[in-house]
Structure 1
Amino acid sequence: MSFPTGGEDRLRAVPDRSGERPRVLVLGATGYVGGRLVPRLLAAGYRIRVLSRSVDRVRAMPWRERAEIVEGDASDPRAVSAAMRDVDIVYYLMHSMNGSTRFSSVDRRIARNVARAAEQSGVRRMIYLGGLAPDGRGVALSPHLASRREVGRILLRSEVATVVLQAGVIIGSGSASFEMIRHLTEVLPVMPAPRWVRNLIQPIAIRDVLYYLLASARVDGAVNRAYDIGGPDVLRYGQMMNGYAVEAGLPQRRILALPVLTPRLASHWVGLVTPVPRKLARPLVESLQHDCVMKDRDIDGIVPPPEGGLTRYRRAVRLALGRMETDVIETSWVDAALPGAPSDPLPSDPDWAGRTVFTDERTRPTTASAERLWAVIEGIGGANGWYSPALLWSVRGWMDRLVGGVGLRRGRRSRARLAVGDAVDFWRVEAMEPGRMLRLRAEMKLPGTAWLEIGCVVDDDGGVVYTQQAIFFPSGLTGRLYWLGVVPFHGVVFSDMARRIVALAEEEPTSAVGSAGGSR
């Protein structure tokens, strides 16, 4: 068969003879892949319908107003049949990874419901995202990989032409597989690991997964088979961890392969040292027991590689970490019309997804005017002090100087006014909205990156509220230990800072800022 060569033609919806754009049903639209696929389908010109048990969760998505929402469970044949009405293409992006012992029977029932409803509704194509797994005889697949393979076979046996895309580890912020790599690498300078860290894996960037999913809607209607998809790099799991370490600015990790760690013990270990839930960690660990690489590149016969080629592993990690200023090489023309890159986090991503962030947040209402409160905020640092125990700030300044930092000696350019870029002791003004918000970025020596954001908010009733947030992105295990070590001091420093700033704002204007110096 022939395939269009232009990136735009590969992915854009093709209207039927009546001029109607294809209607697409997405099952799993609020999941990691589905939440990123839907806006790209919309940008490509498809009409979107989603089936979800939780309408509220769909309504939290940025594309909610452009999609038709059908409430229901995919295990309910009537709900699936209703959602299939007048649908041309179905994307099946669901998997049961909830720790239940019945997941395989649930997956099987849902697949049969979908296949039957698609046949009865006259759907012309189904597209299923399965898992990349070894295909040799005598290889015992993990229960979850075996279930994914069974779902693919059920769909392929239906009367509806189906493309099954089999992907391995998906690299992107929010992907459970990537988050496991992220947190294991950042927490453990030395990782005791099972022997599977030596197994070969062919990871794929989320942008390339989306490209293949979009392009599969345009393949010849007679195509009905499974295809492996993967990125250009074949790596061992340990190499993937150390590739992440390099991109995250961490030292190379030493990995000790231990024969005694069974998948069950390893999943407990992952659940202990990372925020990835154990019910997800276990199927992920079990899927790594064998080499998972592409058996062939037959996918190129129906979907040519994206323009510019597939994304290398290290570049996919950089994108997931947000280490590129702009996502200049898009998967396709579709991405260019969207507000965020495929690797960006979404509101629907789980709480444990993304990099570790520690925060200390405080708010205090005040009787002072917004103008008075802002005057005190803008006067922070330098001769005016930090509105909290001077001894603790002095000790922190000397500690910084001992390790080669700037300490508190820089002061500030003006006692009463600040501008973006100004130095304030061992902070620098990163952003400022006069009268509302001041954000300081730490320039002290730290095992991570820190900000202090303080501001003034006027609520709906006209009341004034002081807001304060300390934010810390730790670097590796050292950064996490550092935060835990300073938490007791934060209880004194940050609480006193909030209390003192509000008290100064409520004093007479002639004495407010000048009296702050003694609190340095």
Structure 2
Amino acid sequence: MTGRHVLVTGATGYVGGRLAPRLVEAGHTVRVLARDPGRLRDAAWADAVEIVRGDLEAPADVQRVMEGIDVVYHLVHAMGAGGDFAKAELVQARHVAAAAKAAGVQRIVYLSGLHPEGEHLSKHLASRVAVGDVLLASGVPTIVLEAGIVIGSGSASFEMIRHLTDVLPYMPAPRWVRNFVQPIAVRDVLHYLVEAASVPGDVHGTFDIGGPDVLRYGQVMNGYAVEAGLPQRPIAPLPVLTPWLASQWVNLVTPVPRAIAIPLIGSLLHDCVVEERRIDAVIPPPEGGLTGYRRAVRLALARERSGDIESSWRSASAAGAPSDPLPTDPRWSGTTVFEDARERTTSASPAAVWAVVESIGGARGWYSVPLLWSLRGLADRLVGGVGLRRGRRDPDRLREGDTVDWWRVERIDRGRLLRLRAEMKVPGRAWIEFEVTPEGDGAHYRQRAIFLPSGLTGRLYWWSLVPAHHVIFEAMASRLVGVAEASERSSRG
């Protein structure tokens, strides 16, 4: 059955960002709910869907967005969010369940996690089970798909496996490294999700999904090593490495921050394998069969190397990071504002300067004192922040919502303005803004670092960094403009 009216929540996330365009390709009319529609503005599929601003914690928003919908995909998870994420997930699920029932929705689809029955679950897995139970009790036919480790370019699980294996020639590991897991390729997860829209209305319940390979977690890491052309790593289980300590280790040596590493590690404390294959009678496997683990790794690596990453775990905001935009005029409202502004006039064209601005961060760095940036990134990781390892989705092009190391793109007016909002741990709120305008035969470059301090601690933080800021931001402005000028000279031959 095609031509359904479909709602996707969580379309700015890893799975939702891939599902929405595939539902369009399958012939469905797709609506997505987003708290910040600007984050979807540059998505390749944005013009093919209806984007509605709304918040799942506001019942009126949820009721409004359900009007005329046949199938709801609930893909919002709060892994890595601060506060009581389990309570927030339950509230959102109850709003979705009630609104779907009232609107006459014919099907709810939810992606949960594989877990053993009858065992004490991590808070993360227990929350997913509880959300599934709320949706199953909604009175609307519901399919809950339970998946284990999802392997694909940009997935948090894959990033953790990849960086742990790349960085460490020898892997000290907790005892549960010998637990069994059943990875599934993201392409197969999407197959089941897309096909769920067309399942007959009498199908209702929970279904396990997983790839064809059941592996110990140590085999998962060494399977990656083989595909990446690395020697297999010796692994020694250590009984003293608790989940909390393991998550700190993951936080330090991978881009995955502690707030996400903790639930990921928690989900590995048990054997997480497919215990029933009832899904085969409801949704047959993809044509050609399910993707094996090694092939899934191979495909993910190819995407990573080409830079063609469709969506990423980085889309999720960092735990506790401010999400409010830069106030229009904070001084007018009495807010204390600290600012470091630098300007340059250059012979380089606005296009040449903008090209350097839009490619800042990630592998190209910040054009000033790399050691100081590295030390600040390390300090942020040590206190549970995101540090510098998140990098960026695309080396040349940015869109709203993208991460750039410890920053997130808050606003981009391509060719003119880029504003990044800090997601590092600071006693206040911080932004850095780049503006490029034409001037004569060249361009005018303006750079602002803006900080709204929180209390005395925030003020002391800024004042203590004034000397370092002078060095860092002065060098950044000069070096960035110099790179633009050199690039233009080179292109002219």
Q: What band does the TM-score fall into relative to the shorter chain?
A: 0.5 to 0.7
Name 1:91's counterpart in structure 2: 73
Tell me which moved more, 96-105 or 150-159. 96-105
Q: Quote the offset at 1:195 in angstroms.
A: 1.1
* Distance 1:505-1:58 versus aligned 2 partners, 3 A rule: closer
In the aligned structure 2, how far is the partner of 1:95 from the partner of 1:347? 11
Match of 2:152 among 160, 169, 172: 172
Equivalent runs, 1:94-493 vs 2, <5 Å: 94-135=76-117, 137=118, 139-322=119-302, 344-345=310-311, 349=315, 463=441
Q: Secondary structure at the match of 2:229?
A: coil
Q: Please tell me whether the aligned partners of residues 60 and 347 of structure 1 are also in contact (alpha carbons under 8 angstroms).
A: no
User: Which whole-Å CA distance do the structure 1 matches of 2:74 and 2:92 have between them?
Assistant: 10
User: Residues 30 and 348 of structure 1 are in contact (CA less than 8 Å); yes or no, is this contact kept in structure 2?
Assistant: no
Q: What residue is the counterpart of 1:64 in the other structure?
A: 46
Q: CA deviation at 1:290?
A: 0.3
Q: Paired residues, what number?
A: 352
**Quick one: distance in 2 between partners of 1:270 and 1:347?**
15
User: How far off its partner does 1:184 sit?
Assistant: 0.7
* Distance in 2 between residues matched to 1:95 and 1:208, nearest whole Å: 20
The list of structure 1 runs, each at least 4 consecutive aligned residues, that deviate by more than 3 angstroms after superposition, is: 323-326, 343-352, 364-369, 458-465, 501-506
Aligned to 1:75: 57
Partner of 2:332: none
CA distance in 2, matches of 1:320, 1:71: 32
The range that moved more, 167-176 or 251-260, is 251-260
Give per-residue Cα distances to partners, 1:197-234, cap 9 Å, x unaligned: 11100000000000000011111100110000000001
Task: Mark the structure with the bigger radius of gyration.
Answer: 1
Match of 2:375 in 1: none
Whether contact under 8 Å (2:13, 2:312) holds in the other structure is no
Question: Structure 1: 5+ residue runs without aligned partners?
Answer: 1-12, 15-20, 327-339, 353-363, 370-457, 466-490, 507-511, 514-520
Q: For the residues of structure 2 that align with 1:197 and 1:289, how far apart are their CA atoms?
A: 9
Structure 1 pair 197–504 and aligned structure 2 pair: CA distance change class (3 A): closer
Which AA in structure 1 matches 2:131? V
**Alpha-carbon distance, 1:295 to partner:** 0.3
Superposition deviation, residue 275 in structure 1: 1.4
Distance 1:179 1:504 in 2: 36
Relative distance call for 1:59 and 1:259 in structure 2 (3 A) is same
What is the identity, as a one-letter code, of the residue corresponding to 2:222?
Answer: N
1:475 is aligned to none
C-alpha displacement of 1:107: 1.2
Quick check: 1:35–1:348 contact (8 Å CA) kept in 2? no
Give the Cα separation in 2 of the matches to 1:368 and 1:42.
43
Distance in 1 between residues matched to 2:107 and 2:160, nearest whole Å: 34
Q: Quick one: which amino acid aligns to residue 254 of structure 1?
A: P
Q: Secondary structure at the match of 1:322?
A: helix
Partner of 1:28: 10
Could you state the TM-score of these two structures normalised by the residue count of structure 1?
0.62
Taking the aligned partners of 1:284 and 1:274, their CA distance within structure 2 comes to 13
Amino acid in structure 2 at the alignment position of 1:65: D
Q: Which residue in the other structure is 2:396 paired with?
A: none
CA positional deviation for 1:260: 0.5
Which residue of structure 2 lines up, in the alignment, with residue 448 of structure 1? none
CA contact (8 A) 2:18 2:311 kept: no
1-structure distance, mates of 2:312, 2:239: 38
**Matched-pair contact (CA < 8 Å) for 1:27–1:50:** yes
Secondary structure of the structure 2 residue equivalent to 1:50: strand
Q: For 1:504 and 1:262, how far apart are their aligned partners in 2?
A: 54
Amino acid at match of 2:194: L
One-letter amino acid matched to 1:41: L
Aligned-partner residue type, residue 183 of structure 2: P
SS of aligned partner of 1:251: coil
Compute the displacement of 1:100 (Å): 3.1
Q: Sort the Cα spacing of 1:306 and 1:505 in 2 relative to 1 into closer, same or farther, 3 A.
A: closer
State how far apart, in whole Å, the 2-side matches of 1:252 and 1:301 are. Answer: 38
Cα 1:61–1:502 shift into 2, 3 Å: closer
- How far is 1:351 from its partner? 9.9
- Contact 2:174–2:246 at 8 Å: present in 1 too? yes
C-alpha distance in 2 between matches for 1:39 and 1:190: 41
User: Which AA in structure 2 matches 1:115?
Assistant: A
Give 1:346 deviation, angstroms. 6.0
TM-score by length of 2: 0.65
The C-alpha deviation readout for 1:94-131, integer Å capped at 9, x for no partner, is: 11113435111111111111110000000000000000
Other structure's SS at 2:15 match: helix
Offset, 1:365: 8.4
**Using the alignment, how far apart are the partners of 2:95 and 2:311 within structure 1?**
32
Contact (CA 8 Å) 2:153, 2:303: kept in 1 or not?
no
Out of 35, 41, 45, the position equivalent to 2:27 is: 45
Q: Is the 8 A contact 2:106 2:201 kept in 1?
A: yes
Q: CA deviation at 1:368?
A: 9.1
1:315-337 per-position Cα deviation (integer Å, ceiling 9, x unaligned): 101111117999xxxxxxxxxxx
Mapped to 1, the partners of 2:90 and 2:305 lie a distance apart of 44
The alpha carbon displacement at 1:504 in A equals: 13
Matched residue type, 1:113: H
| 1:42-76: CA deviation from partner (whole Å, max 9, x where unpaired) | 11111111111111112232211121111111111
- Aligned AA (2:80): N
* Cα shift readout 1:264-305 (whole Å, capped 9, x = no counterpart): 111111101111010000000001000000001110000111
Query: Does structure 1 conserve the Cα–Cα contact (< 8 Å) formed by 2:18 and 2:310?
Result: no
What CA distance in whole angstroms lies between the structure 2 residues aligned with 1:504 and 1:133? 56
- For the residue of structure 2 that corresponds to 1:291, the secondary structure is coil
Indicate the larger mover: 279-288 or 58-67: 58-67
Letter in 2 for 1:118: A
Task: Pick closer, same or farther for the CA change 1:346–1:105 going to 2, 3 Å.
Answer: closer
Q: Distance in 1 between matches of 2:244 and 2:8?
A: 33
Please tell me whether the aligned partners of residues 154 and 313 of structure 2 are also in contact (alpha carbons under 8 angstroms). no
